[in-house]
């Protein structure tokens, strides 16, 4: 099974509107972390937001919020008041501990990304 | 504060040739990561360093890829010989602490193997 699934290859949103980018995950590690990154056409990955599996509240960072539904294994990114500069690829990623306790290591797995286009 | 620096930004080589990528992480960042990003995919970790020690290189194709991080600061990733399938963007990232927290990425090196 895919560890990170982003089902939307591309999304369009009108400027100033809100948009939700979907992400579902699969892990047996009870203490995992979820990240969202933005990758503009220039190529660098920009960290946006982080949600720990034990965090009680949904993470928020400015116009970004993470809609964390643990039972559904869902971690959707919500961008409010979209701006033209938000046009980019968006990647969901999961950090999990793999291997026996004390003998394993943390691994980070990225999804395939969603291309967001903001329309003026 | 300077970000993660990578060079070159672009590289075109013929197959079977060697190639090397250089990365200078953010000052003070102990953890350094090398990723490969194929077209239309998310990045995949190749190797992770804690200071000068490679703590995870399980995804590094060791028959042709090598990496070093002498003195625990900048790092070099080498491919020898390059194959057509190595065409990708190679991203370097660094973080203050371990375990992928708050990584800062460089702009990447786009490699084309002809």
CB–CB of B112/B20 below 8 Å? no
Position B101 pLDDT exceeds 80: no
CB A58 within 8 A of CB A68: yes
Min Cα distance B40 → chain A (Å) is 7
pLDDT less than 50: residues of chain A: none
Distance from CA of residue B1 to its chain's centroid?
21
- Residue B100, pLDDT above cutoff 90: no
Taking an 8 Å cut-off on Cβ atoms, the answer to whether B42 and A106 are in contact is no
pLDDT of residue A32: 94
Give pLDDT, residue A1: 66
The average confidence (pLDDT) of chain B is: 93
Q: Is residue B8 a contact partner of residue B110, using CB atoms and an 8 Å limit?
A: no
Strands B109-113 and B88-95: antiparallel
Q: Report the C-alpha gap between A116 and B11 in whole angstroms.
A: 28
Q: What is the rounded distance in angstroms from the CA atom of residue B48 to the CA atom of residue B57?
A: 6
Contact B40 A112 (CB under 8 A): yes
- Mind listing the pLDDT tens digit for each residue in B35-78? 999 998 999 999 999 999 998 898 899 999 999 998 889 999 99
Chain B closest-CA separation from residue A63 CA (Å) = 18
B110 near A CB under 8 A: yes
pLDDT over threshold 90, residue B12: yes
């Amino acid at each position: 099974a895919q560890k990170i699934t982003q089902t939307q290859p591309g999304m369009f949103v009108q400027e100033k509107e809100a948009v939700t980018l979907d992400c579902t995950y699969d892990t047996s590690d009870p203490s995992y972390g979820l990240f969202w990154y933005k990758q503009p056409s220039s190529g660098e990955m920009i960290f946006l937001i982080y949600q720990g599996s034990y965090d009680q509240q949904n993470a928020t960072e400015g116009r970004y919020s993470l809609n964390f539904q643990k039972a559904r294994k869902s971690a959707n990114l919500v961008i409010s008041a979209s701006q033209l500069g938000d046009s980019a690829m968006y990647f969901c990623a999961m950090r999990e501990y793999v291997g026996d306790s004390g003998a394993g290591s943390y691994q980070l797995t990225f999804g395939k990304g969603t291309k967001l286009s903001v329309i003026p | 504060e300077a970000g993660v620096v990578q060079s070159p930004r672009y590289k075109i080589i013929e197959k079977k040739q060697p190639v090397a990528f250089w990365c200078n992480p953010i000052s003070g960042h102990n953890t350094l990561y090398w990723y490969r990003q194929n077209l239309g995919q998310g990045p995949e970790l190749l190797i992770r360093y804690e200071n000068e020690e490679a703590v995870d290189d399980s995804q590094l194709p060791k028959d042709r890829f090598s990496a070093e991080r002498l003195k625990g600061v900048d790092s070099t990733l080498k491919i020898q010989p390059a194959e057509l399938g190595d065409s990708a963007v190679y991203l370097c990232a660094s973080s203050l602490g371990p375990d992928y927290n708050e990584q800062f990425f460089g702009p990447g090196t786009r490699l084309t193997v002809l």
